[in-house]
Amino acid sequence: MSDQQKTRKDFPLLQRRINGKPLIYFDNAATSQKPQKVIDAVSGFYQNHNANIHRGIHTLAEEATDIYENVRNQVAKYINANSPEEVIFVRNTTEALNLVAYSFGRPSVLKKDEIVTTIMEHHSNFLPWRELALENGAALKAIDIDNGGRLMIKTGENKNEDTKNKKGRIFNHGTKIIALTQASNVLGTVNPIKEILSSVPPYTLNAGSSPRTQSRGYPLVVVDGAQAVPHLRVNVRELGCDFYAFSGHKMFAPMGAGVLWGRREILELMPPFLFGGGMIKNVSLAGAEYAEVPAKFEAGTPSVADVAGLGAAIEYLEEIGYEEIANCELSNCELLLGELQKIPEVTIYGPKTTKDRVATISFNVRDIHPHDVAQFLNDNYGIAVRAGQHCAGPLHERLGIPASVRASLAFYNTEGEIRVFLTAIKDLIRVFK
């Protein structure tokens, strides 16, 4: 049995049949399937350790707290954070990005300032900034892509000159925030974050204790890592960003546990985002004093079982290894890209080679509606793909298409599955002709 066949056995759901056919799950960019180890961590928490965390004296509360805080340590090591206090548990990437937009953005982005984002952002890294810009009277600018689906970041390359100043940098004097994704959830492009950020001096803190006083200095950089962490080894300190957000559920962990990493000194000067239990030092009628990071940003009972599952998922990923993950995914990606390009009716959006890419491929089949493609693949071949705009309206507008079909692979997808998929696409074209 090959290593891949063995790892497939770790995922109970991959054994399912859909419409009498073995499931072919190509919707990993939406959410990944979960290995038994993760499922066991979640049910094990409820079976053996369930209690609310912090300040409980009893055994179960201590155990639950230890489980929760140990995963924080694990995440910190996994992404190479300076300390566990820089790891904030949230529900998902969307919540993490909103936290930054509300807590840092609201008080620090002023009238006529600017926020720079990209045309390929998921709505979760676009709408919080759009709303912030509208509310505070700032401008929102988007870095464009070239025809190959790559960000136009080199001098003179960007048609949208608004996003660059004369020195060819992606920020101006008034740029307060740069928000960009590490990997596109539609195009599969992996953006050279380190290279892009090399022209952005480190965000420096001014004297003072609130984001409001941070009106001068260089922009703050927020990276959406949701589509990168399941495929690439991420080192937040090397990337050169100030915030990094990702969801557990796309990296084999349960839905309900995500992470916001932030540089501690910035987190410390930000006000809390949500108020309530678990985030205070003391409260009286006369006033309230809030807890230190990370507790300051974790109001209310967190999803402890899902965090336990996230810990198990990280362990699982470390066991498989990112090298093995990249090998499996990119060889299948290469095959899929190559064969799809041989079908004249198929148009692929995004890079046509596996260089700086994850195995997420969006495409359309001429004259066939994306919903019909997805339905046909499901009904006749048990293939799960996504059809629509994939929460990337501005990108679809830029591409000039109402919607697309997306096949997104994980390391457990096999070459055999790719072959069935290609047969299915040819069959679809025949039936719809």
Partner 1 sequence: MNLYSLTIMDHYHHPRNVGKLDGATHKADEVNTSCGDKTRFGLRVENDKLKEIKHETRGCLVAIVSASVLSEKIIGKSTKEIKEMKAEDLMALIGMELTTSRIRCAMLPLLAIQKALKGGG
> Nearest approach, Cβ of 364 to partner 1 (angstroms)?
13
Choice between 265 and 372, CB closer to partner 1: 372
Choice between 324 and 372, CB closer to partner 1: 372
- Applying CB under 8 A, the span of 72-80, 254-262, 328-336, 372-380 interacting with partner 1 comes to 372-380
- Applying CB under 8 A, the span of 1-9, 223-231, 275-283, 370-378 interacting with partner 1 comes to 370-378
Listed residue (101, 33, 83, 118) closest to 309, CA to CA = 33
Choice between 278 and 388, CB closer to partner 1: 388
Q: Is 379 in the site for partner 1 (CB under 8 A)?
A: yes
> Nearest approach, Cβ of 402 to partner 1 (angstroms)?
4
Q: Is 403 in the site for partner 1 (CB under 8 A)?
A: yes
Contacts to partner 1 from residues 59-78, by CB under 8 A: none
Interacting residue with partner 1 among 346, 388, 420, 422 (CB under 8 A): 388
Q: Is 366 in the site for partner 1 (CB under 8 A)?
A: no
> Nearest approach, Cβ of 379 to partner 1 (angstroms)?
6
Distance CA 298, CA 302 (A): 7
- Applying CB under 8 A, the span of 164-172, 176-184, 320-328, 369-377 interacting with partner 1 comes to 369-377
Choice between 26 and 171, CB closer to partner 1: 26
Interacting residue with partner 1 among 60, 110, 134, 431 (CB under 8 A): 431
Listed residue (189, 110, 199, 222) closest to 153, CA to CA = 199
> Nearest approach, Cβ of 345 to partner 1 (angstroms)?
16
Q: By CB under 8 A, how many residues form the interface with partner 1? A: 14
Interacting residue with partner 1 among 288, 402, 415, 423 (CB under 8 A): 402
* Two tokens, residue 355: 């260089």
Q: Is 367 in the site for partner 1 (CB under 8 A)?
A: no
> Nearest approach, Cβ of 119 to partner 1 (angstroms)?
19
Q: Is 301 in the site for partner 1 (CB under 8 A)?
A: no
Q: Is 371 in the site for partner 1 (CB under 8 A)?
A: yes
Q: Is 394 in the site for partner 1 (CB under 8 A)?
A: no
Interacting residue with partner 1 among 54, 290, 372, 414 (CB under 8 A): 372
* Two tokens, residue 297: 């940003």
**Angle, CA of 387, 388 and 389, to the nearest 5°:** 135
What are the phi and psi torsion angles at 301 (to 5°)?
A: -70, 120
> Nearest approach, Cβ of 378 to partner 1 (angstroms)?
9
Q: Is 423 in the site for partner 1 (CB under 8 A)?
A: no
- Applying CB under 8 A, the span of 22-30, 219-227, 299-307, 363-371 interacting with partner 1 comes to 363-371
Query: Is residue 391 annotated as part of the catalytic site, yes or no?
Result: yes
Let me know: does 200 contact 178? Beta carbons within 8 Å: yes
Distance CA 202, CA 224 (A): 18
Choice between 77 and 371, CB closer to partner 1: 371
> Nearest approach, Cβ of 372 to partner 1 (angstroms)?
5
Interacting residue with partner 1 among 369, 391, 398, 414 (CB under 8 A): 369
> Nearest approach, Cβ of 368 to partner 1 (angstroms)?
8
Catalytic residue IDs: 391
Residues that bind partner 1 (CB under 8 A): 369-372, 375-376, 379-380, 387-388, 402-403, 431-432
